[in-house]
Homo-oligomer: A and B are copies of this chain.
């Protein structure tokens, strides 16, 4: 429960209001549970602010987010809060033709996803971007971290971006405004417990 009281007042020439509405880059990394779950929890807040939310799932299998996806689709369609657009690499990015999908590798698919994020950032399509598991293609070098940082630094308007996944590259951590490391203290899988519905997906 953050109390909203900064410990220092920065000498950055910004007014309190400007500082309050500063666009943020958030990173949830580490080997513990909760990186993506917390990002989708953040999407609830964005939805409540009537913000358009864009989710980009950078995972080959799309099976793990069925609960979050259904919930955010119902919310987006409820006519109460913001809109939600959900894009999945695992089932083929919706903006690519099916015939083109078949020909590309996971690496190319990840880059196609990032190209779309770049276009949306330039167009200010969303107010919150959830780049789920995007740390992996960065870690593997499929997408260039320096380019990502450069694009994020120069993005127009007030667009918040949350990036999840293990092994987020140091260059991204250095640039990000908020970094949380989810550490595993104890997980039932260590004791032979399999993942279960309602908990892992």
Contacts and interface: CB of A to CB of B under 8 A. Distances in A.
Interface of A: 1-2, 4-10, 12, 16, 19-22, 24, 26, 28, 30, 32-42, 44-49, 51, 59, 64, 66-68, 70-72, 74-75, 78, 80-81, 127-128, 133, 160, 173, 176-201
Contacts of A68: 41, 44-45, 48
Nearest to A40: B41
A1 B133 contact: yes
B67 A196 contact: no
A172 B155 CA distance: 44
18 contacts: A1-B36, A20-B196, A22-B193, A33-B178, A37-B39, A38-B41, A42-B199, A44-B67, A44-B72, A46-B67, A46-B198, A47-B67, A48-B66, A160-B198, A160-B199, A173-B186, A178-B186, A178-B187
A40 B70 CA distance: 15
B30 A183 contact: yes
Contacts of A185: 173, 179-181
A180 B182 contact: yes
B20 A189 contact: no
Contacts of A180: 32-34, 182-185
A139 B173 CA distance: 32
Given A10-B192, A177-B193, A192-B6, A45 B184 contact: no
Contacts of A16: 194
B78 A20 contact: no
A52 B177 CA distance: 36
